[in-house]
Structures are given as structure tokens and as C-alpha cells.
Amino acid sequence: MAKLFGREYTKQELLQKVGSVAQLGGVRQVTLAEGNTAGSRAVEFRTGTGLCFTALAERALDITSAEYRGASLCWRSPCGDVHPSYFEPQGLGWLRTFPGGLLITCGMTWFGAPHEDPHGGVEAHSDLGLHGRITHIPAQNLYVDGTWEGDEYVMWAQAKMRETMVFGPNLLLERKVSTRLGENRIWIDDVVTNEAFTEQEHMFMYHCNLGFPVVDEGGQYLFPSQEVLPRTELAADHIADWQRFAQPNPAQEELVYYHRLRAQADGTTYVAFVNRNFNNGEGLGVYLRFNLNQMPWLCQWKMPGAQTYVTGIEPATGHGDGRPNERKSGRMITIGPGEQRNYNLEIGVLVGHGEIGQIEDRIAAI
């Protein structure tokens, strides 16, 4: 049943009181029309609880905005929801079209810092820019709908994105973004298939970018970490404070850590960022649920800068230091011809100290 306005309702009870489900929540397609966003297909979701979010079909169905009762859950960059036709793939050009957002997908043949790959096949010695190409690939076969399943109203957007080139990779991403009426949770279910006739190296990361007011001074990371690896000497100098977020600092440089996490017996793990001081002590947070058998690493991007006041909590298949390093370390994943890999991510809102305490206990018990 849908839990709305403090109680649970059956389908029959709700439909007797509204002219359309859209009065309560729902999903719809829109087209953006302004500036360098013009022509972008977007899918807007409302769950009826105050959770609203938008997935961009021109950007691999990535979730570029999300809010709960008017409070943004994610950081939004000054770039906005840029159409992929403006993508600059070389070097750090990815940052010119980086919208921030609750979920930006990185990969699928590499992610992380710009680098060259002398053993990259058709891409050997080419400039592999920041975080790969997948977030700039438009959706095909877009299907948006909602329906009743018993007393649950389910809504979704699903599509296909293909990363390919002649003489190179041919990877197909099939994605479904879904939620339910009365829920404070979002589900992302991905299937990556190698449709080439040769083995393909594969790197994949969910770049989840939380921002103010969830992210604020005194905010806390709740990770079941068994090992924390700083990416740089600067990060190593500040490793004692990896669990806390600071006030904005215009001179701040980014801090990145790689976490090896504990998990339940089936590989399921949880991580969260919580702000217990939100709204005069009401408390607000965001958690992620994923599986270490799919994504064995968590990247923590800590950036308490001025304007770039953001943290990235990023489940990943490996580290972001280039394909040569992934091969050397043994972290590189390969997918055989016709083979598939599944990725499943749940993103949820933590409302108040009760829910924050529950997730804290769950993480501590892992």
C-alpha cells in the first residue's frame, strides 16, 4: 500500500478521492527549451511524499536534480543540464557539461582522471578524458509509464544507451529508473552487455553528488569501512577527518579516498551521509544500498569548497587512476562476447533522527 500523509492507503481508497493519480504523484516526459539545455528530453518523477527528481534522457537517464520537500538532495553545478552536443571529451572538458546531480554515470570503458593508454587497442595513446563517455550518450527506446501493481503504484523510465566505435568496443547499457507512490526511495537497475565478438575491458561508477542542505558543516559520513586509501598526499594529510564535512573554504582542494567496505553475507552494503543539524535539529540524510559483488569499491570525493560545496559518494568497479593502473592492480574487469554484468543501486532519503539512527545501526551491524 502507498503510505501518504501519515497513513497507508489501498488503491481503491486513493482512487475514490482523486480524479487522477497525477493529483498525488506520477511520472511524465518533458522537453527542456532554454540555452544549452534546449532539446533535452527529461523525465520528472513525484512520489507524493515530497520526493521529486528528474532523469535526463539525453544524458543516459542520469538523475540531475532531486529534492525532498523543497530541500535539494544533490549539488547542482553552474553548468546546468547541458545537452550532450556540447560535450568536450578531451582532458577535463567533461567538467564543462557536468551538471552535478544525484546520479551521474561514469564509464563504461574507463572512468577517473584523464590519461593515455598505450595498450588501449584502437584507443592506444589517445587522450582519454575525465570519467568516460556514457553520461553524454542519449537514450534510445525510451519507455516511461506508471501502473498499479495491486495496491502499489509503480512508475519508471527505461531506455538503452550504446557506447561503441568502429574497430572498438560495443557495450550496451539497459537502464531502468523507478520508484513508487508513497516512497522515499529510487531504484536504478542496469544491465551492461558486451555485444562485440571480442573480450572488452570495463569500468563503471555511480557518481552520486550530494549537496546543501543535506551537506553542511558537521555532516557525517557513515561507511562500514575496513580500509581507507587516500588518493593523494593531501588526502593522506587529512585522513583523520574523512568522516566529517567542513564549512566552505574558497582555497579548498579536493580530497579523494578509496574505501574497502564490509558487507552482509550476500554482498549487500549500505553507506550514508547525514546532517543531524538540518532544519534546527530535525535531521536529514541520504543513503545508498549496493552490492560489493557488483561494485567492490567506494570512492569518496570530499570537496568543501566555495560554490563547489559538494561530496561525491561513488560505488565503483575500481579506482579512478586510469586503465593501465587498473590492469596492473588486478582490478580491471573484462566482459566476454555476449556476456552481461548487472548493477543495482538504491538511493533513499533519511528523514529525522529516527531514520538516521536506523541506518547508523544497520551500517554498524555489517
Reference 60, options 23, 97, 96; nearest CA is: 97
Which domains are seen in the chain, by residue range?
2-364 (2.70.98.10)
- Which burial class, exposed, middle or buried, applies to 165 when counting CB atoms under 10 A from its CB (0-12, 13-18, 19+)? exposed
3-state secondary structure of 270: strand
Using an 8 Å Cβ cutoff, are 202 and 171 in contact? yes
Using an 8 Å Cβ cutoff, are 56 and 41 in contact? yes
CA triple 273-316-351, angle to 5 deg: 20
Q: What is the pLDDT of residue 124?
A: 75
Long-range contacts of 157-162 (CB under 8 A, 24+ apart): 157/27, 157/43, 157/45, 157/55, 157/57, 157/61, 158/61, 159/57, 159/61, 161/60, 161/61, 161/134, 161/137, 162/137, 162/195
Strand 225-230 and strand 220-222: pairing?
Answer: unpaired
Q: pLDDT (tens digit, 9 = 90+) per residue, 84-137? A: 999 999 999 999 999 999 999 999 999 999 999 898 888 877 889 999 999 999
How far, in Å, CA of 69 to CA of 31, rounded? Answer: 24
Q: pLDDT (tens digit, 9 = 90+) per residue, 139-153? A: 999 999 999 999 999
Q: pLDDT (tens digit, 9 = 90+) per residue, 282-300? A: 999 999 999 999 999 999 9
pTM, two decimals, is 0.97
The pLDDT of 155-182, averaged and rounded, is: 97
